[in-house]
């Protein structure tokens, strides 16, 4: 039941390499394979004054837990040496290559799950590679038409209908078809990955006061309510659309297994306030388990030794739990 977990540190100039080294100090009940340039991790460990043993990984490596102060390593070379806090477009392909190796390894069964550190979208795009985020990248590589971004912190889970879109484009993107598909993926993920038999999902409206009966917008009346009614007829347990400012209150949240927010900054500020530093980003709808940190590259902290590995540790813990549940299901 020991899972084999792939780990990508993300942007080499950010805090990813440091928090991977900090994470390694605790050991892991999984075989944790970091896909990275070994010199990057070694420099981070030296800077932090922490011990680090890198164990070369191959297909023939025996399955075992990861001892404290060590990481298994699947080498992927940097194009140029990386300096903490200094973005370099020359290393954008390196970042994408680590993601490709990890994703392909998950799809072919080499890894049981994937945990990702933070990437910097801007520098990847500046290097000439169109990139809107991990979630979209993995969906495209897996040939999946739609996935769902869900963040979890303690008992609160928040999924998104739209992710990395300008606010002006959100309303147009929320169609009945999209809303039905996203909700079904969320429902299936809660049922199949988290083993919640009949998930109860609270659904936010798009507009203030969920449209105030059409006076503050008609998306609830014309798109959201009809889509939710069609889903209810298929047996999904849904409540909404509800005003987001009242849905995200303790008396309401205690009724729901997850909340479905219409756009990125409607749901995630609440989630991150609730559990920043220990929240986990989970991608539902992929053919494999993928979790991630809830924060960015924090270039200002890179190289200072002050970055916390709390979210990465939470992401790894969640990935291990989901991988073990899946292994139990197969058995």
- Residue numbers in the known binding site are 134-135, 164, 209, 264, 272, 281, 290
* Residue 153, φ and ψ in degrees, nearest 5: -140, 110
CA atoms of 112 and 131, how far apart (whole Å): 25
CA atoms of 70 and 65, how far apart (whole Å): 10
Which residues have a Cβ under 8 Å from the Cβ of 56 and sit 6 or more positions away?
A: 72, 73, 75
Q: List residues bridging with 149 in a β-sheet.
A: 283
Binding residues for a divalent metal cation, as ranges, are: 164, 209, 264
DSSP H or E segment with residue 74:
strand 70-75
Cis bond upstream, residue 241 (ω within 30):
yes
Write out the DSSP string of 45-71.
HHHHT---EEEE--TTPPP-PBPTTEE
Task: From residue 138, give the alpha-carbon distance in Å to each of 11, 156, 218.
Answer: 17, 24, 34
Write out the DSSP string of 28-45.
BSSEEEEEE-HHHHHHHH
CA atoms of 148 and 153, how far apart (whole Å): 16
Q: What is the arrangement of strands in the sheet containing 53-56, beginning at the earlier edge strand?
A: 53-56, 70-75, 31-36, 4-8, 113-116, 289-292, 280-284, 148-153, 156-160, 258-261, 200-204, 237-242
Binding residues for substrate, as ranges, are: 134-135, 272, 281, 290
CA atoms of 26 and 68, how far apart (whole Å): 5
3-class DSSP assignment, residue 157: strand
């Amino acid at each position: 039941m020991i899972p084999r977990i792939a780990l990508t540190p993300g942007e080499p100039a950010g805090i990813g390499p440091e928090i991977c080294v900090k994470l390694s100090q605790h050991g892991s009940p999984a075989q944790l394979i970091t896909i990275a340039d070994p010199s990057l991790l070694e420099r981070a460990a030296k800077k932090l004054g922490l011990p680090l043993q890198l164990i070369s990984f191959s297909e023939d490596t025996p399955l075992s837990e990861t001892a404290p102060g060590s990481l298994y390593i699947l080498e992927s070379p940097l194009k140029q040496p990386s300096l903490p806090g200094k973005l370099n477009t020359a290393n954008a392909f390196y970042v994408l290559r680590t993601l490709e190796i990890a994703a392909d390894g998950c799809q072919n069964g080499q890894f049981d799950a994937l945990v990702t550190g933070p990437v910097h979208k801007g520098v990847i795009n500046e290097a000439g590679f169109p990139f809107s985020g991990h979630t979209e990248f993995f969906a495209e590589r897996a040939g999946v038409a739609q996935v769902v971004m869900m963040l979890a912190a303690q008992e609160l889970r928040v999924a998104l209908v739209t992710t990395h879109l300008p606010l002006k484009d959100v309303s147009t993107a929320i169609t009945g078809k999209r809303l039905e598909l996203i909700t079904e993926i969320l429902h299936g993920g809660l049922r199949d990955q988290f083993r919640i038999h009949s998930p109860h999902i609270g659904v936010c409206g798009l507009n203030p006061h969920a449209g105030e009966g059409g006076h503050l917008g008609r998306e609830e009346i014309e798109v959201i309510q009809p889509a939710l009614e069609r889903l209810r007829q298929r047996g999904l347990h849904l409540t909404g659309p509800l005003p987001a400012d009242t849905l995200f209150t303790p008396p309401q949240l205690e009724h729901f297994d997850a909340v479905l927010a219409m756009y990125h900054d409607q749901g995630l500020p609440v989630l991150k306030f609730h559990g920043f530093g220990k929240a986990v980003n989970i991608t539902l709808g992929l053919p494999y388990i993928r979790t991630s940190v809830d924060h960015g590259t924090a270039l200002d902290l890179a190289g200072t030794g002050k970055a916390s590995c709390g979210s990465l540790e939470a992401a790894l813990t969640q990935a291990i739990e989901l991988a073990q549940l899946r292994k139990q299901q197969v058995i």
